[in-house]
Amino acid sequence: MQAMKPLMEELYEEELQALAAHDAFPKPHNWRLSPRAVRSFIVGEEEPLPLNGKEVRIRRKFYGDDALVERAIVTLAGNRGLMLIGEPGTAKTMLSELLSAAICGNSRNTVQGTAATTEDVIKYSWNYALLLAKGPVREALVPGPLFHGMEQGILTRFEELTRCPQEVQDSLVSVLSDKVINIPELGEAGLLAAKPGFNIIATANTRDRGVNEMSSALKRRFNFETVKPIADVKLEAEIMESQVTQLLGASGIQPEIDHEVLQLLATVFHELREGVTADGRRIDRPSSVMSTAEAVSVYFQSAMDAYYYGNGRVKMDALVKYLAGTVAKEQKDDTEKLRSYFNSIIKQRSQAGGGVWREFFEARKHLK
């Protein structure tokens, strides 16, 4: 049975095999691919690679700053952790998954940071039945993701690090500095030294800044890279098409993408996110996240609505309803900002060009 969200190493298994078969460049200890091949896996290659009698195309998977990808790879090859920061929905998690899949073939060794995350969740805990029966032996120890990463020499992904309490964050300081975990209960055998290849990729949303601020000591042990939103509307529409096609296919639906509607949605999200229209007019920005990921979700839900309740064609009524639901997540006045955008910018475009813009404007009654 296919997983709802396949791991990156499973989804792109053939590409990883093709890159490994043709990878003649130097590799850091315990890496499956060289830094050059990791870069190719993430940003793509123009020429396909032969594998088992066929040509395998290495597709671009991350649309952003290629130099950022290169710096991230070099950071992970060194002795400092990698911290990816940025607005929600800028593909920080996806980039960390891609890096992990290419470097160690394991993107699932992950800590999901929350206010309830504790040190034993990320390092190790105990099987108390075995602990009572046999005492503090290795068999009774239950490894956490950090323990696994150090023991196997693989990457540990730490999602939403700044959502964790500061004392939990600071437990990473010694791990990143000394690359060891001390387990006092095991005595002399209780010192776990990280194998080559271990490192940490952490992510944090800039909107969470100040929730649990990282200490200066921990910040010094990470290289920070800011992942920015897609700036080009045409490129954003292309990314949305790729993601929507993949999501619909995974749901067993033959996608019929309406490119005009997709371009309209990409334009709307870009303008609301930036607070300025394509012709330079200022508009009120909603406080909600207006990321590419949210735009994909709006089109995907509209396409699902059309598949189950309509004739398969995305209707503007559904598009506006799901857009309104996305915008109205945080503050009530965000809906008023969206309504104002419709009554000014969308209205003018509907009068000037008609077509999908007119249909979009006429569906404004769903802005409740």
Query: What single-letter amino acid sits at 169?
Result: Q
Flag whether pLDDT at 1 surpasses 60.
no
pLDDT confidence of residue 272: 95
What tokens were used for 81?
């952790």
pLDDT confidence of residue 181: 93
Instruction: Give the integer Cα–Cα distance in Å for 112 and 103.
Output: 20
189 or 138: which leads in pLDDT: 138
pLDDT confidence of residue 207: 78
Prediction pTM value: 0.89
pLDDT in tens, 280-304: 999 999 988 899 999 999 999 999 9
Instruction: Give the integer Cα–Cα distance in Å for 158 and 146.
Output: 9
Average pLDDT over residues 225-229: 93
pLDDT in tens, 124-178: 999 999 999 999 999 999 999 999 999 999 999 999 999 999 999 999 999 999 9
Average pLDDT over residues 359-367: 92
